[in-house]
């Protein structure tokens, strides 16, 4: 038999690999050869399927069966039951959380229904360590088309017409950036791929590099052809070992095929790609800081202009694009700008990958058309809020973004709508919060992050954020005053206006957006000394209601600090000076006698 | 690996490797595909379903017919094993009984290629096996 009749795709993304997906592959291989099926059934490791929360994932084709939370010990059943007898292994099927029914095929899982995969098209579909599989999926066809049938100007026009905007956060039109870099005269130019991905919680760039590294390589060569560069540099954080390894393998294979190197496809065009490692500082994702870091200097931003397009790496014109931006390029060339620009909204074309996280049922990586509403993402794809709680807010754009409320749930997601709503697209982090989250604490949490990541070069960011953080801490500890709220606002505006780089300019966003949308929570903290969500420990009090307390001693026995006193069958009492507000007694009490105020 | 030195080379390689992942692409939209489901429960296997399945896979490939050949569990027609369900795009599923190689060849030549019904159909009282 020449071709396999069945393919078993096992997720080899970072998430699933951590849960032994390689061992699952070994076990499957072993059982298949034991039953003489290894010539009929192919087993391969792919990139991330996006449904990491339910990983490791195993997908069986052609019947499209989707197994979740698979363990190496499940391999035997998959082979014996599914492959030999044709019966899906029920206990491994995904259960729809809404009705507990098993869902057999991937296409029927709500998580995938509204998704359109362009940037992630090959993730979870091909073996990223085999260039042939990429080529089989039209890989390098776009490069071939550009080099042999199109002039650089024509390629740039196609990208401009597609309406593609940068996915790294700023949303700058990609075609225009390429044109600007092309028009700067210089004998040496560079293409840089920004794979720093510093936004905590975002992992789309990592997943693309792990699941489909060739798409980024292909796009970088095309970019080099357009702007007139012969060298590409990928700036990737050293904390992404698997992505680095896959990228290295991919570069090696492309070189062996002659798709990287001299005289590509006999056209005389030459291009090489090298890796540069970052130490994982958030500010190094900012393009000027990134370039300095690559030059061996301190990773600090410098004033723009000059933009990297004019004077970047080693002072040469440098085109910096994000991983996901690049991943869209080959598809635009293959399918045409007019295919791409029909997807999305008027000013934001195509799709965007989001990393869904927080208090949501389906945590994972999704790709949806621009213009999808937050409600669709959170409720249809994300499966709604965990444990049936109430939605409170969704934070988009990471530490530079803002917290949006219920009233924005039906806003179509695109660059401009999010900015107008007081947040931003950022790199696509999306963190959902429920009724138990205190918005003041959330703002403080983000400030803590920017505070640590600020490079310290300019005063508003270095000192201003520290003051913001102090004020927020004061409020969450119950020492805030109404004047503090005004201070927060004024200081935020000043930091925004006077910081040098995007980090400082956007760091007060979480504060401003929570001030705008959740003023009542701030006021409850400073005026009433209360934390409505019950999160700020200094502001909550656990008390035992003597009427309800049966004296069962359960709380007494569980309190870690001995703050509870009382005799058996006599109402108990909490000594507030000892209580550390851990909430254990509240959870343990079977008679609802302990209240939280 | 030998070098790819021209666009023609690349296209040639693509054609060669495409067949290796075609099965995966086809299973993305099964509704538009010819689907052949072979009943492979214990009774089916005992009565030669594996050979039938192999024959379908090889013969369809030989004749360059794009189809998804899958296996399913017991269809409840144990007396007529091996049973095979064929779904042509936009058509109701049809179940054939006692499908040996000869019958399989007939299914491919007459039903799959020409859309004409042949003997050996089991009256279907259910929708599809998956439901
Ligand atoms: C503080 C800060 C962090 C950034 N981090 C990243 C990052 O991790 N990845 C990224 O692609 N862009 C990041 N950017 C945006 C880059 O400066 C740059 O705009 C982007 O890489 C350009 O590519 P694009 O046009 O394809 O989006 C960051 C910007 C700022 C201000
Ligand atoms: S705004 Fe902050 S991170 Fe940016 S240059 Fe100034 S101190 Fe550094
Ligand atoms: S909240 Fe914790 S520390 Fe306080 S009384 Fe209850 S169990 Fe003890
Ligand atoms: S890492 Fe396996 S699904 Fe994401």
Tell me yes or no: is domain A541-596 CATH 3.40.50.300: no
* Domain range summary for chain A, segments of one domain joined by +: 6-109, 131-340, 351-434, 439-527, 541-596
pTM (2 d.p.) = 0.90
What is the rounded distance in angstroms from the CA atom of residue A358 to the CA atom of residue A230? 43
Search chain A and give the residue with CA nearest B56: A5
Q: Is the peptide bond before B82 cis (omega within 30 degrees of 0)?
A: yes
Range of the domain at B129: 31-131
- Residue B114: inside a domain, yes or no? yes
- Least Cα separation, residue B124 to chain A (angstroms): 20
Choose among B68, B41, B53, B54: nearest CA to A7.
Answer: B68
Domain A351-434 listed as CATH 3.10.20.600: yes
Which residue does chain B place closest to A142, by CA atoms? B7
SS3 A72: helix
Q: Which fold does the domain A439-527 belong to in CATH?
A: de novo design (two linked rop proteins) (1.20.1440)
What contacts B56, CB < 8 A, 6 or more positions away?
B36, B38, B67, B69, B84, B104, B108
- CATH number among 3.30.390.30, 3.40.30.10, 3.90.25.10, 3.30.70.120, domain A6-109: 3.40.30.10
What is the reported pLDDT for A109? 85
Interior angle at CA B113, CA B111 and CA B116, nearest 5: 35
**Structure confidence at residue A224 (pLDDT):** 98
Would you say residue B130 has pLDDT above 50? Answer: no
Measured between CB atoms, does B75 come within 8 Å of chain A? no
Q: Beta strands A94-95 and A65-67: pairing type?
A: unpaired
Distance separating alpha carbons of residues A561 and A370, to the nearest angstrom: 52
Helix axes A323-335, A152-162, angle to 10 degrees: 100
Domain-located, residue B14: no
The per-residue pLDDT for B18 is 87
Task: Name the one residue in this structure whose structure tokens are 């709680």.
Answer: A389
- CATH number (domain holding residue B100): 3.40.30.10
The answer to the question of residue B57 being in a domain is yes
Identify whether B41 is part of a domain.
Answer: yes
pLDDT at residue A97, as a whole number: 76
Q: For the residues of A580-595, what is the DSSP string, one character each?
A: ----HHHHH-TTS-EE
Instruction: List the single residue in A62, A135, A141 with the smallest CB-CB distance to B68.
Output: A62
**In this structure, is residue B106 part of a structural domain?**
yes
The tokens 């060339």 sit on which residue?
Answer: A333
- Structurally, chain B folds into a number of domains equal to 1
Kindly list the distances between the CA atom of residue A109 and the CA atoms of A6, A26, A67, A211, A298, in Å, as whole numbers in the listed order.
21, 27, 11, 21, 47
How far is Cα A268 from Cα A465, in angstroms, rounded to an integer? 52
pLDDT of residue A474: 95
Q: How confident is the model at residue B47 (pLDDT cuts 50, 70, 90)?
A: low
Dihedral (CA of A19, A21, A23, A28) sign: positive
Alpha carbon of A14 to ligand 4 centroid (Å):
7
What's the pLDDT score for residue B46? 64
Please identify, by atom number, the ligand 2 atom nearest to the C-alpha of residue A455.
8
B130 contacts A133? CB cut-off 8 A = no
Asked if A62's CB is within 8 angstroms of B69's CB, the reply is yes
CATH architecture of A131-340: 3-Layer(aba) Sandwich (3.40)
pLDDT in tens, chain A (597 residues): 457 889 999 999 988 988 889 999 999 999 999 988 888 899 999 999 999 889 899 999 888 899 999 999 999 999 988 888 878 898 999 988 777 778 877 878 888 888 999 999 999 999 999 999 999 999 999 999 999 999 999 999 999 999 999 999 889 999 999 999 999 999 999 999 999 999 888 999 999 999 999 999 999 999 999 999 999 999 999 999 999 999 999 999 999 999 999 999 999 999 999 999 999 899 999 999 999 999 999 999 999 999 999 999 999 999 999 999 999 999 999 999 999 999 999 999 999 999 999 999 999 999 999 999 999 999 999 999 999 999 999 999 988 899 999 999 999 999 999 999 989 999 999 999 999 999 999 999 999 999 999 999 999 999 999 999 999 999 999 999 999 999 999 999 999 999 999 999 999 999 999 999 999 999 999 999 999 998 898 888 899 999 999 999 999 999 999 999 999 999 999 999 999 988 899 989 999 999 887
Mutate to test the pocket of ligand 2, among A281, A286, A301 (most ligand atoms within 8 A of CB): A301
With the C-alpha atoms ordered A520, A526, A527, A533, is the resulting torsion angle positive or negative?
positive
**B20, A148: Cβ pair inside 8 Å?**
no
Identify any residues that bridge with A536 across adjacent strands, giving them in sequence order: none
At B43, is the pLDDT very low, low, confident or very high (cuts 50, 70, 90)?
low
Q: Residue B56 falls within a domain, yes or no?
A: yes
Instruction: Identify the bridge partners of residue A543 per DSSP, sorted by sequence position.
Output: A595
Q: Whose CA is nearest to atom 7 of ligand 3?
A: A559
Q: Would the CB atoms of A144 and B1 count as touching at under 8 Å?
A: no
C-alpha neighbours within 13 Å on the C-beta side of residue A414 = 17
> Do A144 and B7 count as a contact with CB atoms less than 8 A apart?
yes
Give the CA radius of gyration of chain B: 17
> Model confidence at B77, in pLDDT bands (50, 70, 90)?
low
Tens of pLDDT, residue by residue over B104-117, are: 999 999 899 888 88
Asked if residues A85 and B45 have their Cβ atoms less than 8 Å apart, the reply is yes
Q: Residue B4 domain-assigned?
A: no
Structure tokens that stand for A375 in this block: 């409600």
pLDDT of residue B75: 65
Please check the confidence at residue B129 and state whether its pLDDT lies above 50: no
The more confident residue out of A465 and B16 is A465
Which residue owns the Cα nearest ligand 1 atom 12? A168
Q: Is it the case that residue B123 has pLDDT exceeding 90? A: no
pLDDT range class, residue B41, cuts 50, 70, 90: low
């Amino acid at each position: 038999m020449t071709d396999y009749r069945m393919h078993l795709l096992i997720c080899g993304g970072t998430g699933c690999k951590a849960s032994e997906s390689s061992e699952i592959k070994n076990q499957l291989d072993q059982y298949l050869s034991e039953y003489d099926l290894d010539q009929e059934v192919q087993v391969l490791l792919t990139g991330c399927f996006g449904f990491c929360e339910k990983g490791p994932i195993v997908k069986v084709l052609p019947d499209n069966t989707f197994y979740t939370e698979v363990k190496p010990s499940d391999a035997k059943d998959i082979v014996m039951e599914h492959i030999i007898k044709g019966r899906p292994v029920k206990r491994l099927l995904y259960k729809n959380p809404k009705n507990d029914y098993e869902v057999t095929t991937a296409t029927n899982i709500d998580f995938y229904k509204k998704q359109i995969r362009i940037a992630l098209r090959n993730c979870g579909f091909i073996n990223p360590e085999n260039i042939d599989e990429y080529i089989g999926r039209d890989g390098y066809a776009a490069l071939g088309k550009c080099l042999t049938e199109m002039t650089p100007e024509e390629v740039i026009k196609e990208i401009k017409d597609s309406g593609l905007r940068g996915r790294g956060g700023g949303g700058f039109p990609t075609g225009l950036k390429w044109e600007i870099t092309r028009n700067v005269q210089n004998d040496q130019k560079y293409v840089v791929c920004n794979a720093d991905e510093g936004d905590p919680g975002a992992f789309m760039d990592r997943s693309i590099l792990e699941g489909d590294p060739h798409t980024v390589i292909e796009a970088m060569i095309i970019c080099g052809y357009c702007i007139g560069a012969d060298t590409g540099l990928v700036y990737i954080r050293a904390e992404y070992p698997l992505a680095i390894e896959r990228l290295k393998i991919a570069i090696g294979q492309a070189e062996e095929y002659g798709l990287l190197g001299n005289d590509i496809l006999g056209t005389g065009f030459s291009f090489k790609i090298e890796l540069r490692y970052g130490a994982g500082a958030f500010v190094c994702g900012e393009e000027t800081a990134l370039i300095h870091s690559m030059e061996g200097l301190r990773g600090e931003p410098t004033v723009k202009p000059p933009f990297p397009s004019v004077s970047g790496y080693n002072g040469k014109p440098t085109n910096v694009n994000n991983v996901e931006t690049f991943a869209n390029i080959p598809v635009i060339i293959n399918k045409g700008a007019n295919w791409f620009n029909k997807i999305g909204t008027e000013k934001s074309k195509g799709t965007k990958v989001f990393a869904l996280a927080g208090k949501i049922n389906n945590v994972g990586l999704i790709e949806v058309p621009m213009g999808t509403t937050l409600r669709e993402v959170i409720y249809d794809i994300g499966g709604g809020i965990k444990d049936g709680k109430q939605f409170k807010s969704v934070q988009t754009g990471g530490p530079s973004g803002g917290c949006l409320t219920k009233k924005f749930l039906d806003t179509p997601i695109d660059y401009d709508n999010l900015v107008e709503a007081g947040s931003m697209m950022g790199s696509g982090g999306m963190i959902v919060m429920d009724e138990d989250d205190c918005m003041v604490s959330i703002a403080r949490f983000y400030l803590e992050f920017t505070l640590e990541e600020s490079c310290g070069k300019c005063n508003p960011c270095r000192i201003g954020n520290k003051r913001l953080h102090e004020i927020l801490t004061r409020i969450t500890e119950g020492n805030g005053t109404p004047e503090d709220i005004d201070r927060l606002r004024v200081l935020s505006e000043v930091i925004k206006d006077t910081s040098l780089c995007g980090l400082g300019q956007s760091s007060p966003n979480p504060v401003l957006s929570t001030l705008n949308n959740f003023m009542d929570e701030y006021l409850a903290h400073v005026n009433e000394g209360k934390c409505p969500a019950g999160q700020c420990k200094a502001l909550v009090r656990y008390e035992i209601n003597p009427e309800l307390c049966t004296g069962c001693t359960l709380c007494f026995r569980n309190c870690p600090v001995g703050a509870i006193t009382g005799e058996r069958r006599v109402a108990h009492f909490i000594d507030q000076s000892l209580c550390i507000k851990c909430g254990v007694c509240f959870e343990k009490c079977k008679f609802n006698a302990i209240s939280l105020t | 690996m030998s070098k790819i030195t021209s666009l023609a080379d690349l296209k040639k390689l693509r054609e060669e490797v495409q067949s290796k992942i075609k099965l995966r692409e086809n299973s993305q939209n099964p509704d538009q595909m010819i689907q052949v489901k072979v009943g492979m429960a214990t009774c089916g296997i005992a009565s030669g379903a594996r050979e039938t399945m192999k024959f379908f896979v090889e013969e369809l490939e030989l004749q360059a017919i794009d189809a998804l050949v899958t296996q399913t569990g017991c269809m409840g027609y144990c007396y007529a094993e091996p049973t095979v369900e064929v779904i042509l795009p936009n058509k109701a599923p049809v179940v054939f009984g006692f499908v040996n190689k000869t019958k399989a060849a007939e299914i491919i030549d007459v039903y799959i290629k020409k859309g004409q019904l042949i003997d050996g159909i089991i009256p279907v009282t259910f929708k599809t096996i998956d439901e």
